[in-house]
């Protein structure tokens, strides 16, 4: 059975606004973040989805976003779709991130400081999403997660150049088809 995955980034948080590395740490949604989630809610209301199941990262910013988009609905929180752990860089300025085009391997940089590698995040994300889609009997699955999770997952479905050009803004909605164990990217929507 072909299924559809809607993968959403959480709304803007205080750390996003202050350009702080967030990762495994958490900060609350800003008023703008709540407005972004309300716009995503409008998008899903227009889709008039039925036969769906809801999931969120265990981090509050993701579950708060999901609760605005789908108020008073049951959902499951899963650790496998939480954001990349940046170790001791959590809460620090984004200016401390190594540049992507430097000689430093960005994908493994944070592991030396108590965090995860990009490969670890990507693998746990793919495993968790496949598990969700394989186990559900619903046609539609909605997952609220995080920017780097969305980026790393999308890199498994698209050519590098195409995936690298995408902007994963707060509350963006990615749509994938899932059939025979494979994800196919369909679209990205920026309601905010």
**Token code pair at residue 56:** 């969120």
15 annotated as a binding-site residue: yes
124 annotated as a binding-site residue: no
CA–CA distances in Å: residue 139 to residues 9, 54, 68, 87: 21, 12, 22, 37
14 annotated as a binding-site residue: yes
Whether 114 and 141 have beta carbons less than 8 Å apart is answered as: no
16 annotated as a binding-site residue: yes
146 annotated as a binding-site residue: no
77 annotated as a binding-site residue: no
58 annotated as a binding-site residue: no
**CB atoms near residue 53 (< 10 Å):** 20
3-state SS of the chain is CCEEEEEEECCCEHHHHCCECCCCCCCCECHHHHHHHHHHHHHHHHHCCCCEEEEEECCHHHHHHHHHHCCCCCCEEEHHHCCCCCHHHCCCEHHHCCCCCCCCCHHHHHHHHCCCCHHHHHHHHHHHHHHHHHHCCCCEEEEEECHHHHHHHHCCCCCHHHHHHCCCCCCCEEEEEEECCEEEEEEEECCC
Task: Please give the annotated binding residues, written as ranges.
Answer: 9-16, 61
Task: Please give the annotated binding residues for substrate, written as ranges.
Answer: 9-16, 61
């Amino acid at each position: 059975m072909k299924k559809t995955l809607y993968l959403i980034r959480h709304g803007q948080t205080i750390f996003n606004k202050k350009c702080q590395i967030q990762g495994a740490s958490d900060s609350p949604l800003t008023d703008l973040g709540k407005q972004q989630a309300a716009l995503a809610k409008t998008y899903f209301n227009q889709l008039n989805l039925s036969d769906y199941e809801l999931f969120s990262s265990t981090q509050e910013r993701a579950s708060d976003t999901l609760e605005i988009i789908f108020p008073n609905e049951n959902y499951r929180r899963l650790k496998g779709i939480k954001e990349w752990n940046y170790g001791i860089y959590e809460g620090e300025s984004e200016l401390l991130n190594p540049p992507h085009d430097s000689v430093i391997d960005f994908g493994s940089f944070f592991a030396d400081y108590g965090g995860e590698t990009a490969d670890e995040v990507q693998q746990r994300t793919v495993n968790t999403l496949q598990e969700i889609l394989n186990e559900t009997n619903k046609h539609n699955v909605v997952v609220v997660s995080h920017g780097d999770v969305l980026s790393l997952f999308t890199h498994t479905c698209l050519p590098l150049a195409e995936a690298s050009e995408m902007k994963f803004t707060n509350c963006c909605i990615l749509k994938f088809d899932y059939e025979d164990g494979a994800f196919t990217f369909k679209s990205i929507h920026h309601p905010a």
